[in-house]
Amino acid sequence: MPSGEKLREMLDRTVSRIIQSYNRHGGINHIKGPSLPAQGEIIETLESLVSIIFPGFFDTSDINPANLKYHVGTKCEAVYQQLVDQINKCFRYFCKNESRCRPERLRCAVRSDKSCLAKAREIARALLTELPELRKILYTDVHASYRGDPAAKSLDEIILSYPGLAAIAVYRIAHILWAKKVPLLPRIMTEYAHSRTGIDIHPGATIGEYFMIDHGTGVVIGETTKIGKHVRIYQGVTLGALSIPHHVEQYRWKKRHPTIEDNVTIYSGATILGGKTVIGRGAVIGGNVWITRSVPANTQIIFEPPAFAMKRKKREAAPTKEGV
Amino acid sequence: MPSGEKLREMLDRTVSRIIQSYNRHGGINHIKGPSLPAQGEIIETLESLVSIIFPGFFDTSDINPANLKYHVGTKCEAVYQQLVDQINKCFRYFCKNESRCRPERLRCAVRSDKSCLAKAREIARALLTELPELRKILYTDVHASYRGDPAAKSLDEIILSYPGLAAIAVYRIAHILWAKKVPLLPRIMTEYAHSRTGIDIHPGATIGEYFMIDHGTGVVIGETTKIGKHVRIYQGVTLGALSIPHHVEQYRWKKRHPTIEDNVTIYSGATILGGKTVIGRGAVIGGNVWITRSVPANTQIIFEPPAFAMKRKKREAAPTKEGV
Amino acid sequence: MPSGEKLREMLDRTVSRIIQSYNRHGGINHIKGPSLPAQGEIIETLESLVSIIFPGFFDTSDINPANLKYHVGTKCEAVYQQLVDQINKCFRYFCKNESRCRPERLRCAVRSDKSCLAKAREIARALLTELPELRKILYTDVHASYRGDPAAKSLDEIILSYPGLAAIAVYRIAHILWAKKVPLLPRIMTEYAHSRTGIDIHPGATIGEYFMIDHGTGVVIGETTKIGKHVRIYQGVTLGALSIPHHVEQYRWKKRHPTIEDNVTIYSGATILGGKTVIGRGAVIGGNVWITRSVPANTQIIFEPPAFAMKRKKREAAPTKEGV
């Protein structure tokens, strides 16, 4: 066992070698420059926003008409300050650290910190101002889940416990920030929802009202996906891109993901790929269907299960193929 | 940048507009009436119950024969109070807020708060009383995982780290409350497990002893599923419903999900659908199999993989279809 | 309603019955003997390690060249102490409680606590010493994700938000401890990552540099999988075992999972099974492909989607099969 002395020496050696490696492997350090937004703060902000949108569902303290204005006011003020802080961090990071900075994507790229902060305030205000609109569309999403899921016993159950709604709410918040060209933050938000729900919606996707995702684990909705109104999606559905070549630069800003028109239902495990693939309004895509071409409106795509052998089991037969 | 004055005005305007929207979009607010159970408390209660069921595995303080009685006693008392509080909140919420309240489902619908509280105490007591029984059946589940998974090195490893067991434990607790017709709480519990494990077991499902789920991400077990003893399920298995019509009311209380008899094994990615579908005892369902009709006892369903083209790759060929 | 008296009696009865059940159902209690490592501590240690590996990304306090040495030093010292404590707990647990203890796997099985502690210190030191090497390989993983994902806007976005990278980082840490035959701890670490990301990588797998997992939900990589360099994997991919017989003992230490050679890409939902299955270098496995035999180098396996019926929808037709 090393004496305190030996331990100290060992630690000193290790620390020096780690710090040397910081210099050796750049691009995965963030030592100089403005600090990045911290995930903990972002989650807190998201949860405050959701509790403003659905008052009384996620509050530990009772809310009543008497304390409502005070309650919401306090929350909004806190959220505003948090948003300004985080958005500003993202802009400053982007301006200073982003070698590949694209002026066409982020106008403030050449501005001073001051204007980053001004822009952050502007966007935080805009997000708060859009909350009533956001409530309106999430209201339609809650109703879509209630109508679409026989297991749902009440609207409250959906708000309190449905992962699909949780992921959609975070996506809709993140998408507003994405549309305002805030770097990093929108993706950190949707990846937090992904972690909690298994539903991976890129903040760049555009999604209409009355959207429902049931169960949701394994759902992937890519960056350039376009989804209309009254669309229903079940667990394990991928709305993805076709093959990715080994040099992806020219693909980074292209439409790579499908377009889903109004009133489409896509059942579990279906895969729909390609930026030119359009699923026409009212179409129904069966479970496990694999689609890389467009589907006309009001058609049903019914999966024909591949043949399977059915045979009498021998005593203690080794079971069939599986995936453990 | 707005002065403090301007900021204050902006916030006041925003808050008023948000509160107006609370009146506009009802059904997604919970401003009046009794407060709902808070997810944080529910998770705490669940974790205490699990640490009572598996003593010494999730306790930060050492447990030994000397302090055991005191240790368990303290935990049980805390859990009892938490359960009474949460169940009571659920009943009061249900009695007062549930427009679609069904007397046949919840007898206390017309009672006073007092009897909600009395009923909550009765159910909390009943749950604690069932803990030894619950331990007995979870003991069989732990053994099923050990026997079924060559990667398992000990029973302790399963209790400490297997998501399948964690999801089953939460389901078995939630199912007891479901059977006693507690609203909201059971589903909030299983959705917490879903969030942690990717395994979505509805508290309404009935599942026999020696149940094993391996890996588990993407597993969905619907509300009216019936599962016998010694059943094994792998990741991505769906035990689901057939098509959902657009008016679901008449489906809300029907059996929509399959029946799985004793000693059945269902390998990864298999989908079994429909309330009349019965998988006979001892059957083995291969990976990725898609089933919507019953399967006789002791048969193997072997997936015949669909044909695939195998071709020599051109230099830097774009890879084949995929789902990003 | 029971008086405090009645409540007390009820609790006492319940507690006694629970404690009796502890004696009845052994193997799922951990009452005597050394305490097990607590998941909370393990997560804290993991997060400290990750923040040492990626400085400035997950730190709440600013890091700058001036405080860097102090910052890293403090973290390393804390991590060292935590690792020693947890590894020691795992060894002591294993020595004392592991009836199936295998001397060939863990040399200290017959030693005293003291040598368990000595071994724990040795391994904790070794892990810290390997951190620069670990940074070097994770650096390649970050770059692989950037090159492979058109949606990635910067390296920082990947470190801050990509679940694939998070799961790989935890796996690489856990694998070091696994290789040093630390019981329990590696698996608890990777199951924590599994819970956060839906990506289930067994710490026993061996994985080369430039490894990328995109989206990742539902990925399963089994204990004896071997993966080369520059391999890309997408959501829902299983690298698994063939059938598991009902007596698994003889399988516990065998190679049951496939070998994936360098520069292989495996698209979403593909399943590759069997310890003798080898995917040759440069091969591309298409989405949803099901493989149980080896694939030659530089071949593409293209999934031929099963036929599907396309028919005009009747008004308000019940949608096709699905999995809810």
Write down the pLDDT at residue B113: 53
Residue B245: pLDDT above 90? no
Give pTM, 2 decimals: 0.91
Q: CA angle, B193 as apex, B189 and B199 as ends, to 5°?
A: 130
Integer Cα distance of C239 and C273 in angstroms: 6
Write down the pLDDT at residue C37: 83
Residue C175: pLDDT above 50? yes
**What is the CB neighbour count within 10 angstroms for residue C29?**
21
A142 contacts on B by Cβ (under 8 Å)? 27-28
Phi-psi label, residue C273: left if phi above 0, alpha if psi -120 to 50, beta otherwise: beta
Of A217, A235, A257, which to mutate for an interface test with B (greatest number of B Cβ within 10 Å)? A217
Average pLDDT, chain B: 86
Write down the pLDDT at residue C250: 66
Q: CA angle, C41 as apex, C35 and C44 as ends, to 5°?
A: 170
Q: Are the beta carbons of C282 and B64 separated by less than 8 Å?
A: no
Write down the pLDDT at residue C247: 58
Write down the pLDDT at residue A111: 46
Quickly state the pLDDT bin for C192 (edges 50, 70, 90): very high
Kindly report the nearest CA distance between residue A9 and chain B, in angstroms.
32
**Closest residue of C to B201, CA-based?**
C324
Residue B105: pLDDT above 50? no
Write down the pLDDT at residue B56: 85
* Position with higher pLDDT, B117 vs A263: A263
Range with the poorest average pLDDT among B176-190, B305-319, C176-190, C270-284: B305-319
Q: What is the mean pLDDT of residues C141-149?
A: 94
Please, are residues B323 and A271 in contact by the beta-carbon 8 Å criterion? yes
Give the tens place of pLDDT for each residue, A37-90: 888 899 999 999 999 999 988 887 778 888 889 989 999 999 999 999 999 988
Q: Is A273 on the interface with B (CB under 8 A)?
A: yes
The number of helices, as runs of H, and strands, as runs of E, in chain B is 8, 15
Q: Is A250 on the interface with B (CB under 8 A)?
A: no
Q: How many Å is the maximal CA-CA distance in chain A?
A: 77
**Closest residue of C to B51, CA-based?**
C29
* Position with higher pLDDT, B158 vs C5: B158
Q: Which residue has the tokens 């991928």?
A: A238
C312 contacts on A by Cβ (under 8 Å)? 298-300
Please, are residues B141 and B110 in contact by the beta-carbon 8 Å criterion? no
Q: What is the mean pLDDT of residues B54-78?
A: 87
* β-strands B284-285, A220-221 pairing: unpaired
Query: Which chains form contacts with chain A, at 3 or more CB pairs under 8 Å?
Result: B, C
Q: Which residue has the tokens 């005892």?
A: B281
Q: Is B242 on the interface with A (CB under 8 A)?
A: no
Q: Are the beta carbons of B35 and A55 separated by less than 8 Å?
A: no
Asked whether the ipTM of the predicted complex exceeds the cut of 0.85, the reply is yes
Write down the pLDDT at residue C122: 94
Q: What is the 3-state composition of chain A as percent helix, strand, coil, each rounded to the nearest 5?
A: 45, 15, 45
Write down the pLDDT at residue C62: 77
* Position with higher pLDDT, C153 vs B305: C153
Quickly state the pLDDT bin for A31 (edges 50, 70, 90): confident
Where would I find the beta strands (DSSP E) of chain C?
A: 200-201, 206-207, 212-214, 220-221, 226-227, 232-234, 238-240, 259-260, 265-266, 271-273, 278-279, 284-285, 290-291, 299-303, 308-312
For A301, the closest of C53, C58, C310 (CB atoms) is C310
Write down the pLDDT at residue C312: 77
Integer Cα distance of B157 and B308 in angstroms: 39
Torsion, Cα of C139, C144, C146, C152 (10° steps) = -110
- For residue B278, the 8-state DSSP code is E
- For residue A230, the 8-state DSSP code is S
Helix locations, A54-130, DSSP H: 68-97, 113-129
Residue A234: pLDDT above 90? yes
**Closest residue of B to A245, CA-based?**
B318
C220 contacts on A by Cβ (under 8 Å)? 323-324
Quickly state the pLDDT bin for B239 (edges 50, 70, 90): very high
**Closest residue of C to B288, CA-based?**
C290
Q: What is the mean pLDDT of residues C194-223?
A: 97
**Residue C295 is encoded by which pair of tokens?**
């694939």
Quickly state the pLDDT bin for C94 (edges 50, 70, 90): confident
Average pLDDT, chain A: 86
Quickly state the pLDDT bin for A105 (edges 50, 70, 90): very low
* Position with higher pLDDT, A305 vs A130: A130
Average pLDDT, chain C: 86
> In terms of residues, how long is chain C?
324
C17 contacts on B by Cβ (under 8 Å)? 129, 131-132
Write down the pLDDT at residue C298: 94
Q: Is B119 on the interface with C (CB under 8 A)?
A: no
Residue B140: pLDDT above 70? yes
Provide, rounded to the nearest whole percent, the portion of chain A with pLDDT above 90.
Answer: 60
